[in-house]
Structure 1
């Protein structure tokens, strides 16, 4: 996909996202859009709970809620390093959590992650994409950083709204 059509699709996505008040609905749309724009097979948006030092996602393409320690896996490493990560051979990468593949039956061939920062530069989540034909590259990383910034305000506000409703 060339950059002009990618950014045109991103504009349409932004309009749709504004109509998704619930975090779950927004995560579904974000995941679908990120997969489409980066030609990946799967996408998860992990939300970072700093109090529990935990990452969780409510949507991983039909897989039930996944919770991991923020100290584990490539998503946890993304939080620690505060930068994107690409692993085009995750089974040879000691940071990769093979247990999730074993639990879900899915086989991860390559993975790319990007931190999602709040307006005050705290990490609020991790965007994670899996299985792009031919693997991920630096151009994908640049776009993931842009996309993470693009969705950050929505995630920050939707998370705050959801927390208020749970009280």
Structure 2
């Protein structure tokens, strides 16, 4: 069960996060906070690019960039269904995308996959937590849904900030 103190700490986390305007600064902070609160081993935050129909993560503990087609894996199903998916035995789930575990040697014991919506209720990403001792519970999902709503405004603004910075750099070159 998530404690009241965890929700209080969330306010302090939010103030710190707003001081980091880029995704490269904010994503690691989001990941660390989510892992600590839920007590998960790893966290991946996927951003959805509808133009190429891919989810990508530059932040996935222990792995470089991961790209997944919108129809692949539990992350793809989370995108499609628009609701949290908890899987406490992923190797027995047909939706599980084994390629990342195969490539890295990591063993996913359980996972929680939560959609992240923008201000227009479009899914802009998915965050996944992996390997919580004892597995993920509906109570964990409640907090993670709340957390996804909490960080969504930041992610939306950071993506705009990153896009603007990229356009400015291209204009200078």
TM-score class, shorter: over 0.9
**CA distance, structure 2, for counterparts of residue 148 and residue 126 of structure 1:** 9
Aligned CA distance change for structure 1 residues 99 and 2 (closer, same or farther; 3 Å): closer
SS for the counterpart of 1:58 is strand
Specify every segment of 5 or more residues in structure 1 that has no aligned partner in the other structure, as ranges: none
Kindly report structure 1 stretches of 4+ aligned residues shifted beyond 6 Å: none
Residue 25 (structure 1) aligned with residue 19 (structure 2):
no
Q: Give per-residue Cα distances to partners, 1:103-145, cap 9 Å, x unaligned.
A: 1111000000110000000000001000000000100111110
2:84 is aligned to 84
Is the CA contact 2:88–2:111 (under 8 Å) kept in the aligned structure 1? yes
2:139 is aligned to 139
Q: Give per-residue Cα distances to partners, 1:26-55, cap 9 Å, x unaligned.
A: 000000000001000000110000111100
1:116 is aligned to 116
Instruction: Report how far residue 61 of structure 1 moved.
Output: 1.6
Instruction: Report how far residue 62 of structure 1 moved.
Output: 3.7
**CA distance, structure 1, for counterparts of residue 96 and residue 25 of structure 2:** 28
Specify every segment of 5 or more residues in structure 2 that has no aligned partner in the other structure, as ranges: 168-173
**CA distance, structure 1, for counterparts of residue 2 and residue 27 of structure 2:** 25
**CA distance, structure 2, for counterparts of residue 55 and residue 109 of structure 1:** 22
How many corresponding residue pairs? 167
**CA distance, structure 2, for counterparts of residue 8 and residue 104 of structure 1:** 36
Instruction: Return the index of the structure with the highest Cα Rg.
Output: 2
Instruction: Report how far residue 2 of structure 1 moved.
Output: 4.4
Aligned CA-pair RMSD: 1.0
TM-score, scaled relative to structure 2: 0.94
1:150 is aligned to 150
Compare 93-102 and 58-67 and name the one that shifted more: 58-67
SS for the counterpart of 1:41 is strand
**CA distance, structure 1, for counterparts of residue 111 and residue 62 of structure 2:** 18
**CA distance, structure 2, for counterparts of residue 164 and residue 82 of structure 1:** 28
Instruction: Report how far residue 74 of structure 1 moved.
Output: 0.5
TM-score, scaled relative to structure 1: 0.97
Aligned CA distance change for structure 1 residues 156 and 91 (closer, same or farther; 3 Å): same
Alignment of 1:1-167 (within 5 A): 2-167=2-167
